[in-house]
Amino acid sequence: SQTIHQWPATLVQPVGSPLSLECTVEGTSNPNLYWYRQAAGRGLQLLFYSVGIGQISSEVPQNLSASRPQDRQFILSSKKLLLSDSGFYLCAWSVLGGGNTEAFFGQGTRLTVV
Amino acid sequence: AQKVTQAQTEISVVEKEDVTLDCVYETRDTTYYLFWYKQPPSGELVFLIRRNSFDEQNEISGRYSWNFQKSTSSFNFTITASQVVDSAVYFCALRSSNYGQNFVFGPGTRLSVLP
């Protein structure tokens, strides 16, 4: 069966520090991968998605970047965190191809920038 | 453009009451897919249901039921005989074949079921 791992679960970082959140998927190949952010009490905002190794699409301009160094690994990074980067970050995967498949989410990382 | 609206920000009900969560979507595509997810306090999104645009048949799963109406672009979710464990944030989402691989989520509805 497929599983998705996301870590760390919680993170407190000072303003200006770097960030690296990692997500890996097991039990499937060539997945679509996504990073979403959820601000406190708000909906989900799509940050990045990837349909293959090295293929990253950004949905909104921001202080963050994403990379996909391996088929089932998706990394969210920042060189210098801002207070506004605080939030709940969720990684997700779906089957590559048509739209008739659901997304499966990791357990999320709660990031607090202080 | 793709858009999902969940007009109810928060709903509170007493246990055993029925509750309906509304979802209205916008898309120009003729083929699309609708989803409902549950986000309990732990934070992880749990997939509940997927519905294809060409299948308007309503679905029932235990205490959960979904009413899909293309004429009003709505995909509403009803919980019958609500329980405290149903307390969560519920998200409706849209995905279309012509809009790439992305899921567009509504803002969510926070449901509180009181004992």
Share of chain A above pLDDT 70, in %: 96
Q: What is the pLDDT of residue B64?
A: 95
* Mean pLDDT, residues A85-95 taken together: 93
The full DSSP string for chain B is --EEE---SEEEEETT--EEE--EEE-S-SSEEEEEEEE-TT---EEEEEEETT----EEETTEEEEEEGGGTEEEEEESS--GGG-EEEEEEEEEGGGTT--EE---EEEEEE-
Strand-pair partners of B49: B36
Average pLDDT in chain B? 92
Residue A84: which of A8, A13, A22 has the closest Cα? A13
By C-alpha distance, the chain A residue nearest B95 is: A99
Q: How many CB pairs under 8 A join A and B?
A: 63
Share of chain A above pLDDT 90, in %: 75
Q: What is the pLDDT confidence band of residue A31, given thresholds at 50, 70 and 90? A: very high
Query: Is the predicted pLDDT of residue A110 greater than 70, yes or no?
Result: yes
Who among B44, B99, B104 is closest to A105 (CB)? B44
A32 has a chain B CB within 8 A of its CB:
yes
Question: Which residue bears the tokens 């308007």?
Answer: B56
Query: Is the predicted pLDDT of residue B11 greater than 70, yes or no?
Result: yes
Whether residue B101 and residue A49 make contact (CB cut-off 8 A), yes or no, is yes
Summarize pLDDT for A53-83 with one digit per residue, the tens. 999 988 876 789 999 999 999 999 999 999 9
> Is the separation of the CB atoms in B44 and A107 below 8 Å?
yes
Query: Is the predicted pLDDT of residue B4 greater than 90, yes or no?
Result: yes
Least-confidence region, from A18-27, B25-34, B83-92: B25-34
Rounded-to-integer distance, Cα B113 and Cα A43, Å: 20
Share of chain B above pLDDT 70, in %: 97
Q: What is the pLDDT of residue B102?
A: 83
Summarize pLDDT for B52-94 with one digit per residue, the tens. 898 888 888 899 999 999 999 999 999 999 999 999 999 999 9
Q: What is the pLDDT of residue A61?
A: 67
Whether residue A49 and residue B35 make contact (CB cut-off 8 A), yes or no, is no
B106 has a chain A CB within 8 A of its CB:
yes
- A69 Cα distance to chain centroid: 14
Who among A34, A43, A108 is closest to B44 (CB)? A108
Least-confidence region, from A7-11, A66-70, A99-103, B36-40: A99-103
Contacts with B84 (C-beta within 8 Å, 6 or more apart), sequence order: B15, B113, B114, B115
Q: What is the pLDDT of residue A60?
A: 78
B11 backbone dihedrals φ, ψ, rounded to 5°: -135, 135
Least-confidence region, from A5-14, A44-53, B2-11, B54-63: B54-63
